[in-house]
Amino acid sequence: MKNIQKWGGISALYAGAAYIMGMLFFLVIVDYMNVTDPMEKLNLIVNNHAGFYAITMIIYVFFAVFLVLLSLALYERLKEATPLVIQTATVFGLIWATILIASGMIFNIGMEKVIDLFGKDPVQAATVWMAIEAVHEGVGGGNEIVGGIWILLISIAALQLKTFPRALNILGILVGAAGILSIIPPLGIIAVMIFGLFQIIWFIWLGIFLLRRS
């Protein structure tokens, strides 16, 4: 029990760190998020190929692996809560991990194919990349509803048992609600920003708590 709680704490800290690294990469190191022109986006991809591959593995694939460990640790910690709540939360945690791996691999494998095509036909490569990016966003990057449901249910279960600090649970409920609201187009961008920023705090706080109690 203590061992899985320890890994849960480590996983939560990794998740928070991964979000920070992702934001730094896409907003500071490579200003990809503010670029709208397909050809300009593709040039960034080609010129920063290794960086994009590495950060995608960090924030999608490795994140998903640690998310599975965290989901299992939280299930063990909260399994005395209402069974429907914690079981449903765990299922959504595993679903979130699955779509993150799929989304990350679509990005990286698609990037390899597009870079090969870029040397032959840059215009066609840009068109193909737009399609790949749309699939990537649709699978795991366009909204945060699955992650939002997971965090919301985990926070509700923890609130029932009074296992975690009340403030942490309330923060989790707010973060989860923001993730769910991200599916609504008028609220999408703002909700995703709130979800991402405050989820960092939630993950780090949760990780520290689990490590101390393990």
b/e per residue, 192-202, with b = 16+ CB within 10 A? bebbbebbbeb
Say if residues 14 and 66 touch (Cβ distance below 8 Å). Answer: yes
Q: Give me the mean pLDDT over the 138-146 stretch.
A: 79
DSSP codes, 50-69: HHHHHHHIIIIIIHHHHHHH
CA distances from 173 to 34, 87, 143, 207 (A): 30, 17, 17, 17
The pLDDT mean for the chain works out to: 91
Give 1's pLDDT tier (boundaries 50, 70, 90). Answer: low
Q: Give me the mean pLDDT over the 152-177 stretch.
A: 95
Q: Give me the mean pLDDT over the 141-168 stretch.
A: 91
Q: Give me the mean pLDDT over the 105-122 stretch.
A: 91
Count of Cβ atoms closer than 10 Å to residue 2 Cβ:
8
Instruction: Give the pLDDT score at 214.
Output: 65
Q: Give me the mean pLDDT over the 146-151 stretch.
A: 96
Count of Cβ atoms closer than 10 Å to residue 170 Cβ:
12
Percentage of residues in the chain with pLDDT exceeding 90? 67
C-alpha dihedral sign at 74, 77, 78, 83:
positive
- Is 33 a residue whose pLDDT tops 90? no
The angle at the Cα of 24, spanning 44 to 185, to the nearest 5 degrees, equals 80
Q: Give me the mean pLDDT over the 116-120 stretch.
A: 88
From CA 56, how far away is CA 52, in angstroms rounded? 6
Say if residues 169 and 94 touch (Cβ distance below 8 Å). Answer: no
pLDDT in tens, 68-86: 999 999 999 999 888 899 9
